[in-house]
Amino acid sequence: MKKVNSFPYYTQKLAYFVFENAADKVQLSDIKKGMQLLLKDETPTFEGIFLGLTPGQIGLLGAIASEPSTSIFSQEYIQRHRLGSIGGAQAARKKLLQLDLVEQRGKVWGIVDPVLKQWLQRKND
């Protein structure tokens, strides 16, 4: 359940998709397929979240998903992820914090929702 960080909702939903599609024994391929189905099933929810975000907030969310960092306001990070200005990134972070989409674990900024993180990573690929 590492893929869903033991979030009860996602754990149950992933288990449903895995067992619904598995034959006699659950194989690694069944888990991968279950994860794909979970991501697909959550897509409308995540797209709904995006509708309420500005381009700067979406950019910062994608940057943090692809590269969790202790220095999201460094010039290098902002340039690498094309986030515009430090002030814009600070405003985006403030809103993403209010929406509980990002958090700081220790000193590293990351995405709160593990499935949203994977969805963003696939979207950015």
Residue 66: partners with Cβ closer than 8 Å, 6 or more residues away: 81, 120, 121, 124
What does the block give as tokens for 111?
A: 């995405």
CA 63 from chain centre, in angstroms, equals: 10
Residue 73 lies in a domain: yes
Q: What is the largest CA-CA distance in the chain?
A: 55
Query: Do 68 and 108 belong together in one domain?
Result: yes
Q: Can you spell out the DSSP letters for the chain?
A: -GGGTT-HHHHHHHHHHHHHH--SS--HHHHHHHHHHHHHHHHHHHHHHHHTS-HHHHHHHHHHHHS-BS-TTSHHHHHHTT---HHHHHHHHHHHHHTTSEEEETTEEEES-HHHHHHHHHHH-
pLDDT tens over the chain, length 125 residues: 567 788 889 989 999 999 888 888 888 899 999 999 999 999 999 999 999 999 999 999 999 999 999 999 999 999 999 999 999 999 999 999 999 999 999 999 999 999 999 999 998 77
Query: Do 63 and 88 belong together in one domain?
Result: yes
Query: Do 41 and 13 belong together in one domain?
Result: yes
- The enclosing domain of 60 has a CATH number of 1.10.10
Query: Do 62 and 99 belong together in one domain?
Result: yes
- pTM, to two decimals: 0.89
Residues spanned by the domain of 76: 55-114
Q: Residue 6, by phi and psi: left (phi above 0), alpha (psi -120 to 50) or beta?
A: left
What pLDDT was estimated at residue 1? Answer: 57
Residue 77 lies in a domain: yes
Residue 31 lies in a domain: yes
Query: Do 61 and 46 belong together in one domain?
Result: no
Length reported for the chain: 125
What pLDDT was estimated at residue 76? Answer: 96
Residue 83 lies in a domain: yes
At which of 12, 32, 50 does a domain end?
50
Residue 122 lies in a domain: no
Query: Do 105 and 62 belong together in one domain?
Result: yes
Q: Say how far apart CA 82 and CA 45 lie, in whole Å.
A: 26
